[in-house]
């Protein structure tokens, strides 16, 4: 039996792809907003963490 036959037997299965799309879209929209509004100095500090010798000692 194919997997599609199992899905067809579930009532209301069409809502799951819509929920997945909404979660995906919301997550990446919020991520883009966070990146655009992030403090550039903080981003620069995070960018230079691997190169900062003071924190390694």
pLDDT of residue 21: 95
Position with higher pLDDT, 40 vs 53: 40
pLDDT of residue 26: 98
How far is 37 from 43, CA to CA, in rounded Å?
Answer: 11
Inside any domain, residue 42: yes
Say how many domains are in the chain: 1
Inside any domain, residue 7: no
Q: Quick check: 56 pLDDT over 70? A: no
Inside any domain, residue 27: yes
pLDDT of residue 49: 84
- pLDDT tens-digit map of 1-51: 677 777 777 788 788 889 999 999 999 999 999 999 999 998 888 888 877
Inside any domain, residue 33: yes
Inside any domain, residue 39: yes
pLDDT of residue 55: 53
Give the range of the structural domain holding residue 41, as residue numbers without chain letter. Answer: 15-51
Inside any domain, residue 1: no
How far is 21 from 31, CA to CA, in rounded Å?
Answer: 15
């Amino acid at each position: 039996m194919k997997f599609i036959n199992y899905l067809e037997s579930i009532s209301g299965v069409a809502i799951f792809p819509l929920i997945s799309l909404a979660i995906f879209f919301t997550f990446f929209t919020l991520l883009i907003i966070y990146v655009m509004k992030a403090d550039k100095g903080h981003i620069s500090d995070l960018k230079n963490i691997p190169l900062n010798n003071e924190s390694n000692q």
